[in-house]
Amino acid sequence: MIDLHTHSEYSDGTDQPGELVAKAAAAGLSAVALTDHDTFDGLGEAYAAGAAAGVQVVGGLELSAEYLGASVHLLGYGPNPGDPALGAELAKLRASRTRRIPATLERLAALGMPISAAAWSQSVGDSPSPGRPHVADAMILEGYVATRDEAFHDYLDTAADAYVPRYYTPLLTAIDLIRGAGGVAVIAHPWSRDSLAVLSPEVLADLAAHGLDGIEADHHDHPPEFRARLRALAADLGLLATGSSDYHGLGKQNHELGSCVTEPEVFAEIMNRVESRNYE
Ligand code: AMP
Ligand code: FE
Ligand code: FE
Ligand code: ZN
């Protein structure tokens, strides 16, 4: 089994990379990609754990992009973490993530929910890529909400009172940056709530022509009919169709490792492209 979309505590997952890879081995995965939001920092630990546990670890990330103002997540497999252009863009994304936190906490305080420095530091840990899930965890620690879901629904979703926007990379630029760094570009959960309205079949055709490699068809955000339509669309457009759990440890319910998987043939093609692009 092959699972190509997971998060560690370097972004908004709750496992250390080594822990995550050990669990992947225990779950019977032969390959797992670590795809933290906007950072490569967990990869070293993940590779070491993969070598120890006999699991193939694919280095990747999930880049925060936007298309026509809607949030779109772009998975990159195998890009060179030392690529200067990609590195500069990731630094810009993380700076914007960091800048928005004090403004978010001010809004929560104004709503009668102050977050102590201790709760914030416990929830964000050493993550270089702070996000709303960390804010949600701090709210849980303070006893204001019971779950991340409740925090998002009541306070943190884009239409809610404590939402503060941040910078997202334009999607075409994001594809160029992943490809430019020798990586394979796959849109994560293309028909989840945020991106469903903008990623029409026509737009996906344009993106395929622009160099997009694939789309994640099997994902917990997609009902069965979306998965089938995305697979058919991928076949039409010459895109790869993947499946992945989007595992976040305790941060997301029902996203267990291996709960959605990518076929071995599709994975082999992804790794072929990674190899050939890194020799270009
Ligand atoms: P951010 O990138 O900080 O704006 O936060 C977006 C992240 O929050 C996404 O990567 C999701 O993984 C996570 N997320 C969004 N909605 C929820 C939810 N209802 N429960 C838990 N996590 C969520
Ligand atoms: Fe996440
Ligand atoms: Fe995502
Ligand atoms: Zn994800």
Instruction: Please check whether residue 248 lies inside any domain of the structure.
Output: yes
Instruction: Please check whether residue 244 lies inside any domain of the structure.
Output: yes
Mutate which of 11, 93, 100, 132 to test ligand 1's pocket (most atoms within 8 Å of Cβ)? 132
9 and 136 co-located in one domain: no
231 and 266 co-located in one domain: yes
Q: Residue 249: CB within 6 Å of ligand 1?
A: no
Q: 148 is in which domain, residue-wise?
A: 91-156
95 and 147 co-located in one domain: yes
Tell me the backbone φ, ψ of residue 185, rounded to 5 degrees.
Answer: -105, 120
188 and 150 co-located in one domain: no
CB atoms within 10 A of CB 114: 13
Using an 8 Å Cβ cutoff, are 113 and 144 in contact? yes
What are the tens digits of pLDDT across the range 38-82? Answer: 999 999 999 999 999 999 999 999 999 999 999 999 999 999 999
CATH number at residue 7: 3.20.20.140
177 and 76 co-located in one domain: yes
Instruction: Please check whether residue 162 lies inside any domain of the structure.
Output: no
Q: How many domains does the chain have?
A: 2
122 and 211 co-located in one domain: no
Distance 260 CA to ligand 3 centre (A): 14
- Within 8 A by CB and 6+ apart from 119, the residues are 138, 141, 142
Alpha helix ranges (H) inside 54-170: 84-110, 117-124, 132-141, 148-151
Boundary (domain end) residue, out of 156, 180, 195: 156
Boundary (domain end) residue, out of 110, 131, 156: 156
Instruction: Please check whether residue 134 lies inside any domain of the structure.
Output: yes
60 and 99 co-located in one domain: no
Tell me the backbone φ, ψ of residue 207, rounded to 5 degrees.
Answer: -65, -35
Q: Residue 131: CB within 6 Å of ligand 1?
A: yes
Instruction: Please check whether residue 274 lies inside any domain of the structure.
Output: yes
280: pLDDT strictly greater than 60: no
Q: Report which ligand 1 atom has the smallest distance to the Cα of 157.
A: 16
Instruction: Please check whether residue 161 lies inside any domain of the structure.
Output: no
Please tell me the chain's helix, strand, coil percentages from 3-state DSSP, rounded to the nearest 5. 45, 15, 40
Instruction: Please check whether residue 66 lies inside any domain of the structure.
Output: yes
Mean pLDDT taken over the chain: 97
**pTM value surpassing 0.95:** yes
What are the tens digits of pLDDT across the range 84-122? Answer: 999 999 999 999 999 999 999 999 999 999 999 999 999
Mutate which of 148, 189, 193, 244 to test ligand 1's pocket (most atoms within 8 Å of Cβ)? 148
Distance 112 CA to ligand 4 centre (A): 31
**b/e code 4-21 from CB counts within 10 Å (16+ = b):** bbbbbbbbbbbbbbbbbb
Alpha helix ranges (H) inside 116-155: 117-124, 132-141, 148-151
Quote the CA–CA distance of 140 and 251 in Å, as a whole number.
Answer: 12
CATH number at residue 139: 1.10.150.650
Ligand nearest to the CA of 97: 1
279: pLDDT strictly greater than 90: no
Instruction: Please check whether residue 120 lies inside any domain of the structure.
Output: yes
Q: Ligand 1 atom 14: the closest Cα is on which residue?
A: 133
What are the tens digits of pLDDT across the range 39-50? Answer: 999 999 999 999
Identity (one letter) of the amino acid at 262?
A: T
83 and 95 co-located in one domain: no
174 and 260 co-located in one domain: yes
247: pLDDT strictly greater than 60: yes
pLDDT for res 278: 84
185 and 258 co-located in one domain: yes
Distance 179 CA to ligand 3 centre (A): 19
258 and 237 co-located in one domain: yes
Q: Residue 168: CB within 6 Å of ligand 1?
A: no
Boundary (domain end) residue, out of 129, 156, 183: 156
More confident residue, 254 or 137: 137
Using an 8 Å Cβ cutoff, are 230 and 241 in contact? yes
101 and 24 co-located in one domain: no
pLDDT for res 160: 97
